[in-house]
Amino acid sequence: MDGLLLIDKPTGITSFDIIRRLRPVVGVRKIGHAGTLDPAASGLMLILIGSATKRAESLTKLDKEYLATIKLGQTSTTGDSEGEVAAVSDRRPSRKELELALQTFVGRIQQTPSPYSAIKIGGQEAYKRMRRGEEVKMPTRTVTIHELELLEYKYPLLKLRAKVSSGTYIRSLAADLGERLGTGAYLSGLVRTQVGDYLIKGALKLDGITEDEIVAHLKA
């Protein structure tokens, strides 16, 4: 067992849960991934087996593409549907207003990730420190939004396709969009569809995955 495995992560589990489930199937301890997904998110994960773990750093830096569902009119303490939600405004922006607002985020922008993210602050994941009641100050970072396409809009929900640089947080993008519109917003659903040139349509489902499937996938 050695190589790059594409897995379609389901919601409700952590990125490390994927590793934990695959280890007894592949029979290899040396296994990792190139980029986490939050438990509430689903989609493409690059799983690295054996010597492929040496590629983790370069693969993590690849651009990503997501399909995001954003809910307007409210904010969330975590930036997604798992947090405490508070009403902000019942104003209904037009589709044109949404499209114009989205385009202001395209390009190199400054972004502050949610403190409920897996970014390590002082050697530990920020969300773990927040859950202990600690105060966490998140550093602002420069990211690049390559493309934002509004796919659907039926208030209060909008769906968009986002092609972004590594390190971009879609939760933060949703919150910033809500602030720009004056309505509030949070991320209610997220699917990662692409990492670099790797597509979700080539990924294996985790449930019921077998050793034979993995071997065939690695050889393909």
- pLDDT, tens digit, 9 for 90 and up, residues 43-70: 999 999 999 999 999 999 999 999 999 9
Based on the domain organization, do 203 and 180 belong to the same domain?
A: no
Based on the domain organization, do 91 and 133 belong to the same domain?
A: yes
Distance CA 121, CA 101 (A): 31
Helices (H), 61-189: 95-103, 126-131, 170-181
Q: Which residues of 4-33 are buried (b: 16+ CB within 10 A; e: fewer)?
A: ebbbbbeeeeebeebbeebeeebeeeebbb
Contact 117, 77 (CB under 8 A): no
Number of domains composing the chain: 2
Contact 115, 108 (CB under 8 A): no
Q: What parts of the chain have a pLDDT lower than 50?
A: none
Based on the domain organization, do 72 and 157 belong to the same domain?
A: yes
Per-residue model confidence (pLDDT) at position 115: 77
Per-residue model confidence (pLDDT) at position 192: 98
Per-residue model confidence (pLDDT) at position 168: 95
The DSSP call for residue 80 is: B
Per-residue model confidence (pLDDT) at position 129: 82
Based on the domain organization, do 30 and 135 belong to the same domain?
A: no
Helix axes of 15-26 and 211-219: crossing angle, nearest 10 degrees: 100
Based on the domain organization, do 169 and 184 belong to the same domain?
A: yes
Phi, psi of 81 (to 5 degrees): -75, -5
Q: Which of 8, 38, 80, 176 is catalytic?
A: 38
- The number of residues making up the chain comes to 220
What is the average pLDDT value for the chain, to the nearest integer? 93
Distance CA 188, CA 190 (A): 7
The proportion of the chain whose per-residue pLDDT surpasses 90, expressed as a percent, equals: 75
Per-residue model confidence (pLDDT) at position 133: 80
Based on the domain organization, do 134 and 82 belong to the same domain?
A: yes
Q: Is 80 a catalytic residue?
A: no
The dihedral formed by the CA atoms of 74, 155, 106 and 144, expressed in degrees to the nearest 10:
50
Residue 28's domain comprises 3-60+198-219
